[in-house]
């Protein structure tokens, strides 16, 4: 009976290791993908927008950071995200730009945030 317990533990450990090995590439792919599909009704909050803006995309919330100051984001009549070869998506790491009336601002990160943080920062 003593040999059955370690054998059972080995089977459970092997199964758990196998399951995590199968999900690890999916998790890594999701983490490595720094793009999100923009909903047609996404909303941008541009309050104090020189270094970052807030984005509500459906029920998800994000902090979008810029490489350099994007002073026109707060005052521009219109802003839009432009992502070459990935229309309708927003990508970090320089993949997208925020186009304003007078500037094109490189997006460096698209960071998920909670609805509470979004609301607090939007005030």
How much is the pLDDT for 20?
Answer: 40
62 and 45 fall within a common domain: yes
Check if the beta carbon of residue 99 is closer than 8 Å to that of residue 82.
Answer: yes
Which pLDDT tens digit goes with each residue over 10-37? Answer: 333 433 444 444 433 332 223 335 799 9
Question: What is the b/e burial string over 38-73, where b = at least 16 CB atoms within 10 angstroms of the residue's CB?
Answer: beeebebbbeebeebbbbbbeeebbbbbbeeebebb
Supply the pTM of this predicted model.
0.71
How much is the pLDDT for 33?
Answer: 53
How much is the pLDDT for 34?
Answer: 79
How much is the pLDDT for 108?
Answer: 96
Q: Please give the average per-residue pLDDT across 32-60, as a whole number.
A: 90
Number of domains in the chain: 2
pLDDT, mean over the chain: 79
pLDDT band with cut points at 50, 70 and 90 for residue 9? very low
Q: 5 pLDDT exceeds 60?
A: no
111: enclosing H helix or E strand: strand 104-113
Phi/psi at 70 (nearest 5 deg)?
Answer: -125, 65
Domain that holds residue 7: 1-32
Closest of 108, 112, 57, 105 to residue 81, by C-alpha: 105
**Burial zone of 122 (CB within 10 Å; 0-12 exposed, 13-18 middle, 19+ buried):** middle
51 and 83 fall within a common domain: yes
112 or 5, which is more confident: 112
75 and 87 fall within a common domain: yes
62 and 106 fall within a common domain: yes
């Amino acid at each position: 009976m003593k040999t059955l317990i370690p054998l059972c533990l080995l089977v459970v450990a092997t199964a758990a290791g196998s399951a995590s090995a199968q999900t690890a590439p999916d998790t890594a792919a999701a983490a490595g993908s720094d793009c999100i599909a923009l909903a047609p009704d996404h909303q941008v909050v541009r309050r104090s927008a020189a270094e970052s803006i807030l984005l509500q995309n459906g029920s998800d919330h994000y902090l979008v950071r810029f490489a350099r100051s994007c002073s026109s984001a707060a005052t521009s009549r219109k802003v839009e995200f432009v992502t070459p070869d990935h229309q309708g998506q927003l990508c970090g790491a320089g993949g997208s730009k925020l186009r304003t009336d007078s500037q094109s601002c490189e997006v460096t990160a698209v960071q998920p945030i909670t609805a509470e943080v979004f609301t607090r920062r939007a005030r």
